[in-house]
Structure 1
């Protein structure tokens, strides 16, 4: 038994954790060999004294003590090995978040010592975790573009994890459901407009030869690919034929009107060519051709004289003159109801088209009356000024023709989008849909929104499709600023303020609505 007690003392001395730490991590050293000798000596003596049964019980007890000893000496003896194990476990995290730069800039030795001290003081589970990089540190490093992309990816992944779509996803979904028009629907609407235009052209040639008009042409948002939603709008341009020797275009800003973006059409050479030499002389007001008088003649000669119910029945549509708007006295339009061919089970007339009749006068770039296309040396490709019969309103403005920059603005937007594969036209359709969905924003017409887009395009920012949400929010912020100042210059005519005709109360109401939605722009998206 004394041998057994001596063996136990040797085992306890050899199994102390302090000595095991000094000898290293291998358990097959001198301490393990001494323990094995002690166990063999104890078991040999126990067989003589206790017999076979006692020796078996003693062996089982000794095995239990040995397992306790193994657990005691299994604590890592080298803290540096634990740090390496921690780094090995943290490898999957480095793909998404690398170590901060301040951990690797000449602090290798101090970092190792600090990690050794932490491994001695903290539990093993805490030592496995490494410091992760915060998103703010990424923006301060040299490769800022890569880190910005990582931050956007993290935001999108966060929205996926939370189950709520991001603003980019909401805008794209809204465009797909409520803004984009299927090509088949657009083609059918254009064909309906062409059918109605053919009837108008035939009527003008047979019944109203006294009105010298050039060949009409189609235009408008649907024709330009800028329509938003199922509100189809097309314009039928009726160019007036004016004699170049009898008429002169005068900029309104050079007269007493002082109205930028408008023109006067003055009748000249009355001493050589008296009144009546031109078919439009009967529509003069104070020596100038009146757009209001031209509109009234066309309304009486086209909308009121033609038998639209019979014409619509022959075409398979319902055609009727649109009601005159008090806000736009010069508005001439037809409403056409037709059946959507893509819905072959539905026999109802469920689609509506607004066909606006727009009298206009074309000028050369220098401001002279342009001859009809194909006459003289004038080229088709030469840029022309377009004057439309839309007086600005107010007393004394019946003779003012508004210059339309629509063709130039649409062409410039298309050129910019084709250059950088941008989303400007998509953003324009989004803004038009938002303005139509809110009665408060009804005064934000397409002319205002086009100039807003063009001014924003002058800024050196990315206009790709992936940046639609950012550009949409920036457009809202820019629009709020313009409404607050009450100033939005036309892009191709900076002297003209597009917000001049809107009252201060209406500007404040629109600005408040948009400003309240800056925190959550998705609240503006309505069907």
Structure 2
């Protein structure tokens, strides 16, 4: 501040208008910052010179003096035009710099004047920092949106395969009352991201409700409320053979494992996939080593994985033939996917919300992240549904705020080690995660709460 105060004291020795302008300059630096004050100082200096020349006596009749005054006036006005533009921000330590830099001695004139003058230095404008909202929208549009060709071609291929498989099952297993195959998955429901690389193919298993009943998950051997058993009833009055599905019974229960093994043999050994693939301009082959019923489809524009799920719908439950790994073979997994998608879309339709947009971004991030990929899908959907019960503002402009709030909610559930299902609080969606996986996910998301951009970086 020493240089600033000395300059201010020197200017205060002048009288009249000069004193007023000096006081203005002294305060301008505090308000406008160094560069802004410099602009005002140059402009003020030029104006003072014009006023001084207008009021000072000069030799009348001296054309040279009059011409010199006019030239100096234009030079002073040029100072105003070429003064540096103020930057948006000034640091506090800049206040210790002198208001106007001391004049530099004139550079010696060059001997050769043929070189063109250097262009004026233009101050580069620093790039504007994007808000989290802008970063999220940019990340979605640049990395997570499924290309239109893939988004249209993948379902088309899956439907053609669905039709061929339906014909085969009806001709090969006419005694089994399979329902009409249908497609499912996040791609079809608009919640997928990154690529159109996976679709579920649902195969309804139609049961006679007078011959079958459901056993709640709490009463099964695994004591897990998400896994149910389907029991054959009234064998005394309706012995084996009365139901076409009795051939898949193990210990009076419809075995998901036995049904899957039968379908796996059909997919691998009985269907002419090369011929079907040639009709579609694709290569189709079943995954032999997988316990899942999976087909791999290669097209010149898309590579697709199709997973077949036998599904039973009874008593308001949707049960998949997807038992847990291990020796237990009669369990059916309760699926909430249809209810999840329906509820999210219903909430968004009610308040024009951005839940689906937020879910697409989170699914895309977790799907490609080596630590967070097991959070993709149902866990994220259920967190958003839980959060919707307490956070009502899901407008598009609140996307960044809700995004961070979802991260905070996830960290809270990971700290507890439990994520209750939105539709059944007895079900823990983290039950199959290892403790080490929960710790790694929690640490990663805890860091991301303070710096969400960590999740948006290239993997």
TM-score by length of 1: 0.63
Aligned to 2:215, the other structure's residue is in SS state strand
Q: Which consecutive residues of structure 1, in runs of 5 or more, have no partner in the other structure?
A: 1-70, 83-121, 133-153, 339-348, 368-383
Q: Which consecutive residues of structure 2, in runs of 5 or more, have no partner in the other structure?
A: 1-13, 33-87, 90-124
* 1:184 CA displacement: 4.6
CA separation of 1:359 and 1:127: change in aligned 2, threshold 3 A = same
For 1:36-115, list aligned pairs within 5 A: 72-74=15-17
Q: Deviations over 1:225-249 (max 9, x none)?
A: 1111114322111111212221111
CA separation of 1:188 and 1:485: change in aligned 2, threshold 3 A = same
Among 257, 280, 293, the residue aligned to 2:245: 280
CA separation of 1:127 and 1:435: change in aligned 2, threshold 3 A = closer
Q: Does 1:351 align with 2:302?
A: yes
CA distance in 2, matches of 1:504, 1:432: 22
Among 298, 307, 317, the residue aligned to 1:337: 298
* 1:72 CA displacement: 3.4
Query: 2:67 aligns to what?
Result: none
CA distance in 1, matches of 2:158, 2:131: 39
Q: Does 1:198 align with 2:163?
A: yes
CA distance in 1, matches of 2:142, 2:334: 35
Query: 2:413 aligns to what?
Result: 482
- Contact 2:267–2:286 (8 Å) recurs in 1: no
CA distance in 1, matches of 2:289, 2:388: 36
Among 440, 454, 457, the residue aligned to 1:509: 440
CA distance in 2, matches of 1:458, 1:161: 42
For 1:353-368, list aligned pairs within 5 A: 353-363=304-314, 367=315
Aligned to 2:446, the other structure's residue is in SS state helix
- Contact 1:324–1:332 (8 Å) recurs in 2: no
Query: 1:213 aligns to what?
Result: 178
For 1:259-408, list aligned pairs within 5 A: 259-322=224-287, 324-325=289-290, 329=291, 331-338=292-299, 349-363=300-314, 367=315, 384-395=316-327, 397-408=328-339
CA separation of 1:441 and 1:127: change in aligned 2, threshold 3 A = closer
**Of 175-184 and 214-223, the range deviating more from structure 2:** 175-184
- Contact 1:261–1:496 (8 Å) recurs in 2: yes
Q: Deviations over 1:151-184 (max 9, x none)?
A: xxx99xxxx9653322222211111122122445
CA distance in 1, matches of 2:330, 2:366: 31
Q: Deviations over 1:383-423 (max 9, x none)?
A: x421111113344x321211111111101101111222222
* 1:297 CA displacement: 1.0
Q: What is the RMSD computed on CA atoms of the aligned residues?
A: 2.5
* 1:323 CA displacement: 5.5
* 1:127 CA displacement: 4.6
- Contact 2:150–2:302 (8 Å) recurs in 1: no
Aligned to 2:188, the other structure's residue is in SS state helix
Aligned to 2:298, the other structure's residue is in SS state strand
Among 439, 454, 458, the residue aligned to 2:385: 454
* 1:453 CA displacement: 1.3
Q: Deviations over 1:100-154 (max 9, x none)?
A: xxxxxxxxxxxxxxxxxxxxxx82324568979xxxxxxxxxxxxxxxxxxxxx9
CA separation of 1:459 and 1:247: change in aligned 2, threshold 3 A = same
Query: 1:42 aligns to what?
Result: none
- Contact 2:150–2:301 (8 Å) recurs in 1: no
The number of aligned residues is 355
Query: 2:428 aligns to what?
Result: 497
Query: 2:376 aligns to what?
Result: 445
CA distance in 2, matches of 1:202, 1:233: 22
